[in-house]
Structure 1
Amino acid sequence: PDRWDERGERYDATADDAAYAIFELAGGVVAQLNSSWCVRVHRGELLEFQVDGTEGSAVAGLRDCVAQHRGVSPRPVWNPDIPNVSRFLDQWQPAPLDGEPGNAFRLQWEMFIRHVVEDAPFRQDLHTGARGVRVAELGMLSSAEGRRIEVPATTVAGS
Structure 2
Amino acid sequence: SWTTDLEAALADPDYPIFFDAAVTHLRPDTLMRAIAAGKHVYTEKPVAPSVAEGLQLLEAAEARGLKHGAVEDKIHLTGWRKLAALVDDGFFGEVRQFRLEFGWWVYDGHDVTCQRPSWNYKKSGGGGLIFDMHPHWRYMIEAALGPIARVVSAAWTATPERVDEQGQAYKVDVEDSTAALVQLQSGAFGTINASWATRVRRDEPLEFQIDGTRGSAIVGLHHCHIQSMAETPAVKWSANAELAVDHRSEWRPAPDVPAGTNSYRVGWEGFLAHVLTDQPFSATLRAGIRDVQLAEACHQSQRAGGWVDMPAIIGA
* TM-score, structure 2 as length reference: 0.43
Of 2, 7, 11, 2:111 maps to 7
Q: Distance in 2 between matches of 1:14 and 1:113?
A: 39
Q: Does the CA contact (< 8 Å) of 2:289 and 2:313 recur in 1?
A: no
Q: Distance in 2 between matches of 1:139 and 1:101?
A: 33
Over 3 Å counting, the alpha-carbon distance change for 1:8 and 1:60 in structure 2 is closer
2:282 is matched with which residue?
123
Identity %: 33
Of 216, 219, 237, 1:77 maps to 237
1:67 is matched with which residue?
226
Between structures 1 and 2, the one with greater helix share: 2
**Alignment RMSD, CA only?**
2.7
Q: Distance in 1 between matches of 2:284 and 2:108?
A: 40
Tell me how many residue pairs correspond in the alignment. 154
Q: Does the CA contact (< 8 Å) of 1:50 and 1:59 recur in 2?
A: yes
Alignment of 1:69-108 (within 5 A): 69-74=228-233, 75-80=235-240, 82-108=241-267
2:201 is matched with which residue?
42
Q: Distance in 1 between matches of 2:213 and 2:226?
A: 13
Deviation at 1:15, TM superposition (A): 4.1
Q: Does the CA contact (< 8 Å) of 2:237 and 2:243 recur in 1?
A: no
1:21 is matched with which residue?
180
Over 3 Å counting, the alpha-carbon distance change for 1:34 and 1:117 in structure 2 is farther
Q: Give the 3-state SS of the residue equivalent to 1:105 in structure 2.
A: helix
Over 3 Å counting, the alpha-carbon distance change for 1:20 and 1:106 in structure 2 is farther
Q: Distance in 2 between matches of 1:79 and 1:155?
A: 52
Deviations 1:127-148 (A, max 9, x none): 2222322232121111222201
Comparing 8-17 and 86-95, the one that deviates more: 8-17
Q: Distance in 1 between matches of 2:173 and 2:287?
A: 27
Deviation at 1:8, TM superposition (A): 8.1
Deviation at 1:123, TM superposition (A): 1.0
